[in-house]
Amino acid sequence: MFKIIHRYMDFLPATMAVLFLFGQTVCDLYLPTITANLVNKGILQHDFPYIIAIGCRMLIVAGLGLIAATVNVFLASRQSMKIGAMLRSKLYSKVLNFAGQEMNHFGTSTLITRTTNDVVQVQTVMFQVLRQMLRSPMILVTACVLAYIKAPRLTVIYLITLPILTVLCLLVLHYATPLFHSIQGKTDHINQIFREGLTGVRVIRAFNHEDHEQERFDQVNRDYTQTGVKAYSLVACLFPAMTLVLSLTDVGIIMYGGHMIAFKTLNVGDLIAFITYTTQILTSFMRLSRMFVSLPRASASAKRINEVLETPHSVRYEPTTTDASQQTTSSNPETGQSSVPAIEFRHVSFRYPGAERLALDDVSFKVPRDSTIAVIGGTGAGKSTLIDLLAHLYEPASGQVLVQGRPVNSIPANQLHHYLTVAQQKTVLFSGTVRTNLLKANPHATTDEIWHALDIAQASDFVKNAGGLDAAVQQGGHNFSGGQRQRLAIARTLVANADIYVFDDTFSALDFQTDANLRMALATDPQMKGKVICIVAQRVATVLNADQIIVLDNGKLVGCGTHEELARTNQTYQQIMASQLKQGGGQHA
Amino acid sequence: MHNGFAPHLRQRSKAEQAQNFWGTTWRLLRYLKPWHWLLFLSIIFAIAAVIFSVSAPKILGQATTTIYAGVKRGRAMGASVSQWPIDFHKVGHYAVQVLILYGCSAIFSLLQQLLTTQLAQRVVYTLRRDLKRKMRRLPVSFYDTHDHGDIMSRMVNDMDNVAATLQQGLIQIVTSAFTFIGVLVLMLTISLRLTLVALITIPIGMVIVGVISPKAQRLFGKQQATLGTINNQVEETYTGQQVVKLFGDEKREQERFEKGNKQYFNAAWKAQFFSILVFPAMNFVRNLGFLMVAVVGSFLVAQGQLAIGAVQAILQYQEQFSRPITQLANLANVFQQTIASSERIFAILDEPEMKSDTVKKAQPAQTSGPVITFKDVKFSYRPDQPLIDHFNLDVAPRQTIAIVGPTGAGKSTLINLLERFYDVNAGKILLHGVNTQDMTRADLRRHFAIVPQETWLFHGTIMDNISFGHPGASAEDVYQAAGLARADHFIRTLPDGYQTVLGEGSTEISTGQQQLLTIARAFAANPEILILDEATSSVDTRTESLIQAAMDNLRANRTTFIVAHRLSTVQNADQIIVLNHGHIVETGNHESLLAKGGFYARLYNSQFRHALR
């Protein structure tokens, strides 16, 4: 919380806001002081013109108070919302630039919550800080000062009240804060179980686990309720206790003040002023106590936001000295030296955080231009990791990845897509239209180019049926089937204008026939001439025709060559083949 | 989990306004009914607390009057006295009275708050429990056709709104209303004229609230709308973060976001400004009242028509008097939102439920006949799109039934019917000759174990996740199941082994490994009938052949339905059901279907066309 205030609060407007808040407080508290004069001089001496004059003064003070308060509210709302907007914008850009590692570390859903709800929490409390929270102590202090001016000896009573109130607040804060923090955690837990019930409804029902689920939920629900009762009961004690302390103050003022009046050391009007101060202190503390509920929530939110903002990027961008000279040649394979491989891995190793085993272990290979390569291997063999490193979504632990002769970490993140484009295993479509989705890959693509890409991806039929390029795509693309989404994603990749096209197990969701048609269209397309096509697959049938097949097993490169070579010499490849031939019923033997 | 075929309709209502305000209010109040005595007591206590606290300033004023009287008497006697003759006996008497009043008020207010807390927490507990219970009685079609984010938002945000209002708003209405009335009555008993002066501020206050509040409401609506827009963008780009990066689209997304963020900022600070402006404005009105009471009161006191303590009391009341008006105006908005929230929660509670099956007791006996029989089954997700018509199938014990077809052909539909996630429109499905509709769903499902298309594991240990299939399974059972699913090895290499906690933010395991765990879960269940919904599609081929071997053992004594992607399973299946566009186009075994040269043959041959090229 304080970190955020320190980093993102604009000092000048915030100070102004506090100053004007102080102005309002002084005006509010000055009124009883004037009233005291009214009583002391006006009433006791029957001075009617004085009473009118005092009335006018009070009106001016009240007006000034209104102006000060308005300026404070204006500054406070702008300042708090500005902090919110800044945090949101910072988070958004931070997350957009996160590498896969950071994304996995947090998980998408909590990042969404942090950018949306948590920021709103913080900005709301920020406003309360600038408007409400400082007001209570200000009122207390100002009341004490004014009281001291009026009657130094009577101020003793406030000097007793003040520490008691403070201790009371601190005590409740001390005991309630952990409770409200724990409530926050328990809310998350309840929501998590409820969400699991939504996503896992089929499994839960199929295994007759409904009773158990309900029991699990009830348990957390009960736990939450008990903590809630405890926390709110504690806060509930605060208000009556404060009332009691302040009524004691009132009585003290009357008794002690009465005696002072009797001995002519105090005026009656001052007594009335003191009692009004007490009421105002009470009101302000009541407002302060309500903040106890929102403060722990906001500080938890602030902590979660800071966690994201302070996460270092695991992927580094290191511009090389030859940066400028290479940039012109490398993005265009025609003019570049043909001897430079399109893709090169030099002794690349990678380990996921916390993993014992290397996900990729000393992998080296070269891919010449104008060729089709395939990567094959079982689950956990390191296929997707290899692609993620190529796309610089992760930083290798050691070794170097080069694209068109340039190390990927010397290519700025917003340039890399000129070199290579990837269709991922998991399809993501955005709400909008088919056109807006495809234009994401290349904002300058023409309608013809888009249709051409859809043709290759075997997607033009259903796009036409859905109403053409301007057919609506719902969030997540849920108005299309899984296979259709996959084909749209493939088309999107084809729209991009890059040197290297990677299909990361993209054909898995397609049926055999569509898969075959698509690969045929891809292989024969004239626009793909001179490009590198990289296909990641599990089926041998899919990779048969590649110029070069890279075989991965347990993160190690165990084979590299054509199908014929590997089929003859490579043990792992033979095993994969054998398992699939058995399945394929010897069809291609 | 939605199965890709069921119609996925999004039903998100953005309306903040309640459709049926009073109906919903009444219904929410009915939730308080089991604790009506709690509610009743807290209202009584709230009123008592108000009465006691409201009476105190008047007594305090009388104390001041007594002091002032002493001063006046002393003045009349001349300045020679060293001490004003104040009746301290009387002042002390008043002081004790004030203490008692405030003390009682504090006790009652404490009791009231404690009761309200109990009430609010219990009501929200019940609401939450009911919502969860309801979810359990809703058909799977509800889950398939409703946006999960929307349901979650009802569970989280709307529930939060209701809780906050019950905790703070409900009693505040009572307190505010009674404070207003109580203060008014007491002011009237003190001085009619001064009360009238104080009352002048009410219409002014009402005008201010009436002008500012609707404007704030409008701006608030705009703020919520713009917030919705940027939240949607966040949700979408975060989900597709890698895609955005891979296409180098970060800059344009950031620009789009900045635009929305700016719009939100402009709406938000204005909304905040105007909604809070009410308070200083009302403060000004209060001060206005304060000074009028002070000036007019001074005249009256000076003329000897009023006691000084009366002015002091009315000044104190003035402070308490304007607050309820602001609070009530504020509460009106809060209540609008709360009722709209409750309505969204009740909307789920009102969804049509599955047919109850508590009275059904049919138990299938092990017979020699077919295990499963589809008899003239007719089914469709939507009445206007018939899918399955007059479907007949006999499944003998230990047979393997493969369901094949292109993507999106509706292969999960048969699974949905078998497990009774959906019920047939006509015809019947028999288990050992007993209509599955005559059995309870639980009894029916005990015969099956499922490995779903999308892996679903819950937040808990691997041990718990595997024994999910067989509650009460021993650790040995779990090890054995994991071993059969070829998951034992990788589990033991994890730092915490079987006690590894799965879930967001904890140890991550690969999709293939998750798949293995769901298979282990099915092994642990040891069912009569096995359902594999494209279960092995993301396990690599080598691992799969290992699983295949284990599966063959398992299948030896089991009837199996497989939604198949792989040809090996298809070929070895006893019967193959071929689907296209949701319809069953062919049934038979591999040889007979190939010989037929129909859809299946085309589908099958296409796989190797390119491989052989």
Same domain? For A432 and A295 the reply is no
Same domain? For A296 and A433 the reply is no
B518 pLDDT more than 70: yes
B316: part of which helix (H) or strand (E)?
Answer: helix B308-349
Residue A317 lies in a domain: no
Interface probe for A, chosen from B274, B298, B576, B605 (most Cβ of A below 10 Å), is B298
What does the pLDDT read at residue A282?
74
Residue A49 lies in a domain: yes
| B265 interfaces chain A, CB cutoff of 8 Å | yes
- Say how many CB pairs under 8 Å bridge A and B: 508
Residue B382's SS3 state is coil
Question: Under 8 Å CB-to-CB from B282, ≥6 apart: which residues?
Answer: B205, B208, B209, B322, B325, B326
Classify domain B371-447+529-538+558-613 at the CATH topology level.
Rossmann fold (3.40.50)
| B255 interfaces chain A, CB cutoff of 8 Å | no
Burial (Cβ within 10 Å: 0-12, 13-18, ≥19) of residue B501: middle
Same domain? For A276 and A422 the reply is no
Residue A439 lies in a domain: yes
Residue A454 lies in a domain: yes
B481 pLDDT more than 50: yes
The CATH 3.40.50.300 domain(s) of chain B lie at: 371-447+529-538+558-613, 457-526
A328 phi/psi in degrees, rounded to 5 = -70, -35
Mean pLDDT to the nearest integer, B15-43? 82
Task: Find tokens 């007591």 and name the residue.
Answer: B41
B561 phi/psi in degrees, rounded to 5 = -110, 125
Same domain? For A296 and A376 the reply is no
Residue A220 lies in a domain: yes
- The beta-carbon neighbor of A62 closest among B103, B265, B291 is B291
* The token pair that represents A417 in the structure block: 């897509």
The CATH 1.20.1560.10 domain(s) of chain B lie at: 22-128+146-189
Distance of residue B454 Cα from the nearest chain A Cα, in angstroms: 9
Same domain? For A145 and A69 the reply is yes
Residue in A158, A47, A155, A270 with CA at minimum distance from that of residue B64:
A270
Same domain? For A277 and A383 the reply is no
Helices (H) then strands (E): counts for chain B? 22, 12
What does the pLDDT read at residue A223?
94
DSSP structure string for B230-255? HHHHHHHHHHTHHHHHHTT-HHHHHH
B459: left (phi over 0), alpha (psi -120 to 50) or beta: beta
Nearest residue of B to residue A438 by CA position?
Answer: B247
| B441 interfaces chain A, CB cutoff of 8 Å | yes
As a whole number, the mean pLDDT across chain B is 81
What does the pLDDT read at residue B261?
93
Distance between CA atoms of residues A365 and A528, nearest Å: 22
What does the pLDDT read at residue B259?
93
- Expressed in angstroms, the distance from the first to the final Cα of chain A is 68
Residue in B441, B426, B445, B419 with CA at minimum distance from that of residue B380:
B426
DSSP structure string for A71-95? HHHHHHHHHHHHHHHHHHHHHHHHH
The β-bridge partners of A402 are A344, A407
Residues in A closer than 8 angstroms to B140, CB to CB, are 201-202, 205
Q: Which of A214-223, B347-356, B563-572 has the lowest mean pLDDT?
A: B563-572
- Specify the pairing of strand B400-404 against strand B559-563: parallel
Confidence of residue B313 (pLDDT cuts 50, 70, 90): confident
What does the pLDDT read at residue B10?
29
How many domains, in total, are found in chain A?
Answer: 2
Same domain? For A304 and A433 the reply is no
Instruction: Find the CATH number of the domain harbouring A74.
Output: 1.20.1560.10
Instruction: Find the CATH number of the domain harbouring A437.
Output: 3.40.50.300
Residues in A closer than 8 angstroms to B521, CB to CB, are 207
- Expressed in angstroms, the distance from the first to the final Cα of chain B is 39
Question: What CATH superfamily classification does B22-128+146-189 receive?
Answer: ABC transporter type 1, transmembrane domain (1.20.1560.10)
Q: Which of B51-55, B78-82, B238-242 has the lowest mean pLDDT?
A: B78-82
Interface probe for A, chosen from B150, B162, B407, B531 (most Cβ of A below 10 Å), is B407
Task: Find tokens 């879960």 and name the residue.
Answer: B521
Interface probe for B, chosen from A20, A38, A43 (most Cβ of B below 10 Å), is A43
> Which of A309, A335, A360 is the C-terminal boundary of a domain?
A309
| B564 interfaces chain A, CB cutoff of 8 Å | no
Distance between CA atoms of residues A555 and A379, nearest Å: 10
Amino acid identity, position B91: V
- The beta-carbon neighbor of A378 closest among B249, B542, B602 is B542
Higher pLDDT, A5 or B447: B447
Distance of residue B571 Cα from the nearest chain A Cα, in angstroms: 8
Higher pLDDT, B508 or A219: A219
* The token pair that represents A6 in the structure block: 């320190």
Same domain? For A209 and A293 the reply is yes
Interface of A with B in 315-344 (CB under 8 A): none
Residues in A closer than 8 angstroms to B469, CB to CB, are 207
Distance between CA atoms of residues A384 and A374, nearest Å: 12
The CATH classification of domain B457-526, taken from the options 3.30.70.1450, 3.40.50.300, 3.40.30.10, 3.50.30.40: 3.40.50.300
Residue A405 lies in a domain: no
Confidence of residue B12 (pLDDT cuts 50, 70, 90): very low
Residue A531 lies in a domain: yes
Same domain? For A383 and A237 the reply is no
CA angle at B8 for the pair B388 and B18, rounded to the nearest 5°: 130
Task: Find tokens 């990837």 and name the residue.
Answer: A422
Interface probe for B, chosen from A24, A114, A247 (most Cβ of B below 10 Å), is A247
Residue B567's SS3 state is helix
Distance of residue A176 Cα from the nearest chain B Cα, in angstroms: 14
Kindly give the confidence (pLDDT) of every residue in chain A, 589 residues in length, as a single tens digit, with 9 standing for 90 and above.
Answer: 677 777 777 788 888 888 999 998 888 888 888 888 887 777 777 778 888 888 888 899 999 999 999 999 999 999 999 999 999 999 999 998 888 778 877 777 778 878 888 898 888 888 888 887 788 778 878 887 887 887 788 888 888 887 888 888 888 878 887 888 788 778 878 888 888 888 888 888 888 888 888 999 999 999 999 998 998 888 888 888 888 888 888 888 888 888 888 887 888 888 878 887 877 777 777 777 777 667 777 887 888 899 889 888 877 777 664 444 444 444 444 444 557 888 999 999 988 765 556 778 899 999 988 888 999 887 667 888 888 888 888 888 889 999 888 888 888 877 888 888 888 877 788 888 899 888 888 888 899 999 999 999 888 888 888 888 888 887 777 778 777 888 898 999 988 888 899 988 777 667 777 878 888 888 888 888 888 889 888 777 778 888 899 998 878 888 899 988 888 888 888 887 776 654 444 333 3
Contact B2, B143 (CB under 8 A): yes
Contact A482, A509 (CB under 8 A): yes
Distance between CA atoms of residues B224 and B216, nearest Å: 12
Mean pLDDT to the nearest integer, B514-527? 85
| B80 interfaces chain A, CB cutoff of 8 Å | no
How many residues would you count in chain A? 589
In terms of residue numbers, what domain contains A104? Answer: 2-309
- Specify the pairing of strand B400-404 against strand B575-580: parallel
Residue A176 lies in a domain: yes
Distance between CA atoms of residues A320 and B164, nearest Å: 57
Same domain? For A249 and A377 the reply is no
Contact B338, B218 (CB under 8 A): no
**CB–CB of B315 and A250 under 8 A?**
no
- The pLDDT tens digits for B361-383 are 777 776 677 888 998 888 888 77
> Which of A283, A309, A335 is the C-terminal boundary of a domain?
A309
Interface of B with A in 394-413 (CB under 8 A): 405-408
Same domain? For A298 and A386 the reply is no
* The token pair that represents A233 in the structure block: 């009961």
